[in-house]
Structure 1
Amino acid sequence: MRNQTGTGTVRCRALRHRGLVAAAAVGLLVAAGCADDSTPDSTTSTTGTTSAGEAAAMDSAVAERLDSAIEAAMAQASVPGAIVGIWGPDGNYVEAHGVADKATGAPMQADFFSRIGSVTKTFTVTGVLQLVDEGKVGLDDPISKYVPGVPDGDRITIRQLARMQSGLANYTVSEQFQQAFFADPSAPFTPQQLLGYAFALPPTFPPGEGFEYSNTNTTLLGLVVENVSGMTLPDYVHDKIAVPLQLDDTIFPTTNAFPEPHAQGYTNQTADGQEAAATDWNPSWGWAAGAMISTLDDLRIWGPALATGTLLEPATQEQRLETVTAPGHPAGVGYGLGIFDVNGWIGHNGSLPGYQTVVVYLPEQETTLAIMINTDEAYEGSEPSTLLATAITQIISPDHVYRLSDSGPMPGQTGTSTSGTSVPTPTPTS
């Protein structure tokens, strides 16, 4: 058994390994000569059967194209390490590329735990929707019914919070929050502290009359789950979501504890803008919006369960998938109730200092894609996880390319983008 910290039982995995030789860089996203020579060249390959699924390995020619595209995108964006899983009718592809630790050169491994950032939102909102199914919460109830003291709380509904239409400011843009966070990234935050930062800022639009991705919304929904269920949010997620789906390695930490094995996570979201290892930074500032930890094997289960509504009533899932178009995004990108649809790929992405994740499901092809990387450092203003997802889907679903802007990966709007929980780099003030 591996070491385990937090809720849940950790199981060992037996993954079949094979060696790969990287082919020449290909793909629409990679320009010749843009590779960073400092990017380590290390790949641990596990294409084939995983412990969670018994499907044939993907065609070797397609796998080699994926290897090349992933490694080229990693070189382009200087991503140290990536874990990629694809599961579908055409076979499985489970690969670990690059390094987990820049200092030692230790390779990335496919069974690592990773911080999943805003993918946490999908669990929190699922909890709210389960309570809707139980008749304990109404989607059009005001938040004031469940959480007191919310500005304009009598007009902001649960649905608006889940669909990022409340107008409440994102606490991560607060200068006071940023000062507190960067003074000590290991310090804990409570949900009440986080909401205090948000409520001190003016709303960005009247409830229901706009769209702005805000971690404040999901923090409030986490409190709804706690106040209605009588359980802590970590316990609720474990008992009501992780256990029924056998997500044995999915954890909602209450401290900075991080189960082994895991990669070092690299960020330049620091007070001086210099790169640092954020591996052991306290994720409590993300809480219901971004604190959770998982593994590729568990995300393989969660992706289709989330997209198809395994834990919800069909009518509730139908409402969940009713999306609004986010300003600045192409028509193929919509946001629902704690979930998005990117050109047919349904799920969510996540980002917080040191780590990024994408977990999506394409119903048309019954295919799941999960990506976990150990950096959140933007490449030309874009998220590296999006760069990888775009390169991968150009190969496996050319009619459904994962693209968050018309010109390519979505410009990184750390703290307010659909990656969700990245802390903005402070701007010097006079």
Structure 2
Amino acid sequence: MRRTPSRRLFAASLLVASILAPMMAIPATADHAVVADRFDKDKTPPDGLGRKLTARLDKAVEKVRRQAGIPGVVVGLWMPGKGSYVRATGLADTDTGEPMTTREFVRIGSETKTFTVTALLKLVDDGRIGLDDPISAYVDGVPNGDRITLRHLAEMRSGLYPYSEDPDFDHDLLSDPDRYFSPEELLEYGYRHKNTFAPGKKFEYSNSNLILLGLVIEKVTGHRLADVIERRVLRPAHLRHTLFPEGSEFPEPHPRGYTNQTLSGEVADSTDWDPSWAWAAGAMISNLHDLHRWAKIVATGELISPRLQAERLKTLPTGHPGTTYGLGIFKSDGWIGHNGSIPGYETVTVYLPSKKATLVVMINTDITVGEQEPSTLVARAITEIVTPKNVYSRPLPPS
């Protein structure tokens, strides 16, 4: 979920090149061969869904990639009892022509929220915090903090102004994308504005909510958020290729990321921008293998109690048809999970309980097409073919 800088900066996390050198975006009509790949330990054949269906998916993914001008796409679709579809197409680097592969690490943006909220819910299961505790019990200075609960924050129903919507924040970030932002600095951008509504009255996607939840986790545990997520979430989930970076570090291999979220509006390489500005809302990195595992874990509640998972899945209306939001998780026409969008990268990681199916999409651009996120276009094209009764179609939130 995101908006543009001055017109579109909104989502989860960033990373980037030391120089914002304007580049030409890959032409929408560029012709690049589909690269079929798979993980060394993945025993499922890439063409497990059969030749005809695989050919339809190849054609659909490549069509969207070209029309949306996406440099590179990675798709993983797993449908128990039917097979799987694992593909990479296009380029990881438009300068060198290096092809995209399924082994890439990517910035997962707002999918970080699923990890942060899972860490929070584990503290609830431990009896160390309560979902209906006011944020004022943990963090001072929050506007209306005595009425805003941890549940409101996780459900995006707090009414706190999104710090990433502040014009000064946009300018400060894009003027120096290598800059480190502390959580407190981020919140101050939002606190300059009045709350937009009373707690619980409606839905408004706001990264301010997750920054506060990250601070709660740190205060209660006495440890850094990254360490808590590593110990309480990543290790139990056996996610060995997922991390919460301390700075702009980025494991290899990874694709270059391309964005037009710049002061000039020109396309730039955002690969190494510092993600601190998104912190608990979107700074994490992962790959296809781990996101495949994580989709089911989040949707089925493997790491938390059944009681709390039931709470998590009580999703509420967002004002966007077909999409509801719960405790750091959304439902889109039956698919459960989250997406991520940051300058240079977008992801979708969702699970469909009715078919026990998992879909993961990773791309190396966040440049919208007709106000549509390119990752949504890819996910929609795939689900229209394989689950026509459950089409993923999360709309772009209003800026």
TM-score by length of 2: 0.91
* Map of 2:339 onto structure 1: 349
Structure 1 position 149 matched with structure 2 position 141: yes
Alignment of 1:164-203 (within 5 A): 164-203=156-195
Q: Which has the higher contact order (CA 8 A, sep 6+)?
A: 2
Q: What is the rounded CA distance, in whole Å, between the counterparts of 2:242 and 2:124 in structure 1?
A: 23
* Map of 1:387 onto structure 2: 377
Structure 1 position 314 matched with structure 2 position 314: no
CA offset at residue 40 of structure 1?
4.3
Counterpart pick for 1:211 among 203, 209, 225: 203
Secondary structure in 2 matching 1:99? strand
Counterpart pick for 1:372 among 362, 367, 386: 362
Amino acid at match of 2:384: Q
Structure 1 position 278 matched with structure 2 position 266: no
- Runs of at least 5 residues in structure 2 that lack an aligned partner in the other structure: 1-25
Change (3 A) 1:98 1:55: closer
* Map of 1:62 onto structure 2: 53
Q: What is the rounded CA distance, in whole Å, between the counterparts of 2:155 and 2:281 in structure 1?
A: 13
Structure 1 position 128 matched with structure 2 position 123: no
Change (3 A) 1:40 1:146: farther
Q: What is the rounded CA distance, in whole Å, between the counterparts of 1:50 and 1:168 in structure 2?
A: 45
Q: What is the rounded CA distance, in whole Å, between the counterparts of 1:137 and 1:59 in structure 2?
A: 49
Secondary structure in 2 matching 1:153? coil
* Map of 2:150 onto structure 1: 158
Amino acid at match of 2:162: N
Q: What is the rounded CA distance, in whole Å, between the counterparts of 2:116 and 2:360 in structure 1?
A: 19
* Map of 1:76 onto structure 2: 67
CA offset at residue 50 of structure 1?
5.9
Q: What is the rounded CA distance, in whole Å, between the counterparts of 1:60 and 1:216 in structure 2?
A: 46
Please list the CA deviations of residues 3-42 of structure 1 after superposition, one character each: whole Å capped at 9, or x if unmatched.
Answer: xxxxxxxxxxxxxxxxxxxxxxxxxxxxxxxx95543413
Structure 1 position 397 matched with structure 2 position 387: yes
* More off after superposition, 55-64 vs 214-223: 55-64
Q: What is the rounded CA distance, in whole Å, between the counterparts of 1:262 and 1:161 in structure 2?
A: 32
State the aligned residue count. 372
Structure 1 position 340 matched with structure 2 position 307: no
Please list the CA deviations of residues 164-201 of structure 1 after superposition, one character each: whole Å capped at 9, or x if unmatched.
Answer: 00000110111121121011001111100000111111
* Map of 2:351 onto structure 1: 361
CA offset at residue 46 of structure 1?
2.5
Change (3 A) 1:377 1:283: same
Amino acid at match of 1:78: G
Q: What is the rounded CA distance, in whole Å, between the counterparts of 1:244 and 1:54 in structure 2?
A: 24
Secondary structure in 1 matching 2:119? helix
Q: What is the rounded CA distance, in whole Å, between the counterparts of 2:195 and 2:28 in structure 1?
A: 45
Amino acid at match of 1:284: S
RMSD of aligned residue pairs (Cα, Å): 1.5
Contact 2:203–2:318, Cα closer than 8 Å, also in 1: yes
Counterpart pick for 1:45 among 36, 46, 49: 36
TM-score by length of 1: 0.84
Change (3 A) 1:288 1:148: same
Amino acid at match of 1:74: R
Counterpart pick for 2:76 among 73, 76, 85: 85
Please list the CA deviations of residues 326-362 of structure 1 after superposition, one character each: whole Å capped at 9, or x if unmatched.
Answer: 11x11x3100000000011000000000000000000
Contact 2:28–2:70, Cα closer than 8 Å, also in 1: no
Secondary structure in 2 matching 1:209? coil
Contact 1:40–1:105, Cα closer than 8 Å, also in 2: no
Contact 2:44–2:83, Cα closer than 8 Å, also in 1: no
Please list the CA deviations of residues 85-106 of structure 1 after superposition, one character each: whole Å capped at 9, or x if unmatched.
Answer: 0112111111111000111111
Percent pairwise identity:
50
* Map of 2:23 onto structure 1: none
Please list the CA deviations of residues 64-100 of structure 1 after superposition, one character each: whole Å capped at 9, or x if unmatched.
Answer: 1110000001111100100000112111111111000
Structure 1 position 227 matched with structure 2 position 227: no
Amino acid at match of 2:332: V
Change (3 A) 1:36 1:412: farther
Please list the CA deviations of residues 348-379 of structure 1 after superposition, one character each: whole Å capped at 9, or x if unmatched.
Answer: 00000000000000000001000000000000
Contact 2:28–2:69, Cα closer than 8 Å, also in 1: no
Contact 1:42–1:99, Cα closer than 8 Å, also in 2: no
Q: What is the rounded CA distance, in whole Å, between the counterparts of 1:412 and 1:267 in structure 2?
A: 18
